[in-house]
Amino acid sequence: MKTELLAPAGDMARLKTAIIYGADAVYFGGKQFSLRSRASNFTLEDIREAVEFAHGYGRRVYVTVNIIPHNDDFNGLEEYLKKLEEFGVDAIICASQAILTLCKRVAPEMEVHISTQQTTINTRALSYWKDKNADRVVLGREVNLKQLEEIMGKTDVPIEVFIHGGMCANYSGRCTISNLLTNRDANRGGCAHSCRWDYHLWHDEELLDRDDYLLSLGSRDMCAAEYLEDILKLDVASLKIEGRMKTAFYIASIVRGYRYLIDCYQKQGYISDRQKEKGWEMLMLGTNREVFAGFYPGFDISKGQLYNFPTTASQNFVANVVSYDRDSSEAVIEVRNHFEKGDTLAVMNPYQEDVTFIVDKMTDTDGEEVAVANRPLQLLRIKVPVEVNEYTFVHLVKEQL
Ligand code: SF4
C-alpha cells in the first residue's frame, strides 16, 4: 500500500503550499461544524476551489466536521454534507457516530474518517467503527509502536496515525482546562493551550511545588521521523501532520521533509542514515518548538515534558518570493525576518535540496541599496542562484544565526 502524507491547511495559500510541496492529501475545516474555530476556516466557495486545485494535482481533500454536536449543531448539517459531496470532497473527518450515520445516508459518495477525538486505541473500537461503515480511523496519539504493530496485524480498517505536530496533555482534546480558565472550548477548537502555562501548586498558604510548567506534558511537539521507517513497514493508510494554525513556511518545510523520507522508502524499501539525516534537517528548518517522538517509543511521556523552557519562534524564515525575472536571475522578495548584506541565505523549493547564496546586494523598490532587511513586508530585489516562484521560501542558513 502507498502510505499517504496528509497535511493541514489553515487557508487557501497554505493548502496550495502543502500540495505543491508534496502532500498526498490535505485537511481543513469549513466555517461550520469544525474544530479549530480560530484557524481561518474555508467558506463553501473556498471548499469548491480547494477541491478543484487539489484534484488538479491528483491529491485528495478531507473536510473536518469534528464538533462534538449538541442538538442545535445539526441545523443545516444535512445540506452542508450534500454540498461537500457535490463539490467532490473525498472524505469528512468526524468525531460523532450521529454525524457518521447522517453522512452515510445523505452523502454516501464521501468517505467518513473517524477523528482522533474518538481516542480509538484498540481493535475492539476499530471493529465497532468498521460495523458502522467508517472508511478510515485516525488512531489516538497515545498508541505506541508495539501497540500499533499489534493493531495493524488484527484489523483491515484503514488506519491513519499522527507523525508530527502538537501534543495534548490529556487524551487528545478530552480536556476542559482551557474551558475553565479562559472560557475557550477545546472541543470547539478554541483551546488556549492552558496546559502549557506556568503554574505553582499551593495548598492554603503553603507553596507545595514551584516546578514551573507543572502541566506541560504537551510542551514538546511530536516529530516521529526516527520511527517513520517502522511505521511505513506497517502499511498504515495515512501519516498525519497536525497544525492548521501553523505558517506556510512550517507547512512547506515539514511536508517537504516527510515527502523526501517517504519517497526514499517507497523507492528503495529503506531509508539510509544519510537520507534520515537530510530529512531531519529539512524537518527541523520549520520546527520552532522542542520535539520528541510522542508515544511511539512507549508510554514514558516524561521526555515530552519541558519544564522551564518557554519556546520562542524560529527566525530562520526571512522572506517569501513575490516574483522572479529569469533574464536577470533576480527575485522580488517580501521580508519576514531580519537579515543583512553578507548573510548566507538558502532558497527552499519543493522536491529539491536547498541552494545557498551570500547576499551581496539588495535594493528597495526605488532602486536604493539596502544593507539591512529589518522592515517586515518590505519588498526587496535580490539576485538568487536558482529559479524561484511564489511557492519558494528564503531562510537564513543556521550557522549564521
Ligand atoms: S489545554 Fe492542553 S491538554 Fe487541554 S485540550 Fe488544550 S492542549 Fe490539550
DSSP line for 143-185: --HHHHHHHHHH--S-EEEEEEE---SSSTT---HHHHHHS--
Contact indicator for 245, 38 with CB cutoff of 8 Å:
yes
pLDDT tens track for 378-392: 999 999 999 999 999
26 close to ligand 1 (CB < 6 Angstrom): no
Q: What is the pLDDT of residue 245?
A: 82
**241 pairs with which residues across the strands?**
164
**Taking residues 99-126, what's their average pLDDT?**
96
Q: Smallest Cα–Cα separation from 188: which of 117, 257, 252?
A: 117
pLDDT tens track for 276-305: 999 999 999 988 788 889 899 986 655 655
Other CB atoms closer than 10 Å to residue 192's CB: what's the count?
A: 17
DSSP strands (E only) in 255-354: 291-292, 317-325, 330-335, 339-340, 344-348
Q: Indicate whether 132 pLDDT > 70.
A: yes
Q: Over the Cα atoms of the chain, what is R_g?
A: 22
Q: Indicate whether 313 pLDDT > 70.
A: no
116 close to ligand 1 (CB < 6 Angstrom): no
CATH of 4-204+213-304, one of 3.40.30.10, 3.20.20.70, 3.40.50.2020, 3.40.640.10: 3.20.20.70
Protein residue whose Cα sits closest to atom 3 of ligand 1: 169
pLDDT band at 401 (very low <50, low <70, confident <90, very high): very low
At residue 77, the 3 state secondary structure works out as: helix
Protein residue whose Cα sits closest to atom 8 of ligand 1: 168
pLDDT tens track for 152-188: 999 999 999 999 998 887 887 778 888 888 888 777 6
Q: Indicate whether 306 pLDDT > 70.
A: no
**Taking residues 194-206, what's their average pLDDT?**
81
pLDDT tens track for 320-343: 999 999 999 999 999 999 999 999
Helix (H) or strand (E) holding 20: helix 12-20
Q: Which residue has the cell 504537551?
A: 218
Q: Indicate whether 319 pLDDT > 60.
A: yes
Q: What is the pLDDT of residue 315?
A: 63
Protein residue whose Cα sits closest to atom 6 of ligand 1: 193
Tell me the best of 38, 142, 171, 177 to mutate to test the pocket of ligand 1, counting ligand atoms within 8 Å of each CB and taking the most.
Answer: 177
From the alpha carbon of 169, which atom of ligand 1 is closest? 3
238 phi/psi in degrees, rounded to 5: -155, 145
Q: Indicate whether 399 pLDDT > 70.
A: no
195 close to ligand 1 (CB < 6 Angstrom): yes
Q: Which residue has the cell 536547498?
A: 354
Q: Indicate whether 122 pLDDT > 70.
A: yes
Domain residue limits, the chain: 4-204+213-304, 317-400
pLDDT tens track for 28-65: 998 877 665 555 579 999 999 999 999 999 999 999 99
pLDDT tens track for 3-30: 999 999 999 999 999 999 999 999 999 8
217 close to ligand 1 (CB < 6 Angstrom): no
Rounded CA gap, 249 and 226, in Å?
Answer: 22
At residue 354, the 3 state secondary structure works out as: coil
Contact indicator for 248, 11 with CB cutoff of 8 Å:
no
In the chain, the amino acid numbered 158 is P
CA 332 and chain centroid, separation: 28
35 close to ligand 1 (CB < 6 Angstrom): no
At residue 245, the 3 state secondary structure works out as: coil
173 close to ligand 1 (CB < 6 Angstrom): yes
Quote the mean pLDDT of the chain.
89
From the alpha carbon of 167, which atom of ligand 1 is closest? 7
Q: How far is CA 274 from CA 223, 252, 261, 349, 399, in A?
A: 18, 21, 11, 20, 20
Torsion angle in degrees (nearest 10) through CA of 376, 16, 270, 225: 50
For domain 317-400, the CATH superfamily is: Translation factors (2.40.30.10)
170 close to ligand 1 (CB < 6 Angstrom): yes
Q: What is the pLDDT of residue 167?
A: 84
pTM, 2 dp: 0.91
Q: Indicate whether 135 pLDDT > 70.
A: yes
224 close to ligand 1 (CB < 6 Angstrom): no
Cell numbers given for 346: 538558502
186 close to ligand 1 (CB < 6 Angstrom): yes
Q: Which spans in 155-272 are helix H?
A: 177-182, 228-233, 248-268
pLDDT band at 400 (very low <50, low <70, confident <90, very high): very low
Q: Which residue has the cell 472524505?
A: 91
CA of 250 to the centre of ligand 1 (A): 21
Q: Smallest Cα–Cα separation from 335: which of 320, 325, 315?
A: 320
CA of 20 to the centre of ligand 1 (A): 31
Protein residue whose Cα sits closest to atom 5 of ligand 1: 173
**More confident: 166 or 273:** 273
CA of 175 to the centre of ligand 1 (A): 6
**What does DSSP say about strands 136-138 and 111-114: parallel, antiparallel, or unpaired?**
parallel
Tell me the best of 66, 162, 181, 191 to mutate to test the pocket of ligand 1, counting ligand atoms within 8 Å of each CB and taking the most.
Answer: 191
Q: Indicate whether 216 pLDDT > 80.
A: no
What whole-number percentage of the chain has pLDDT above 90? 69
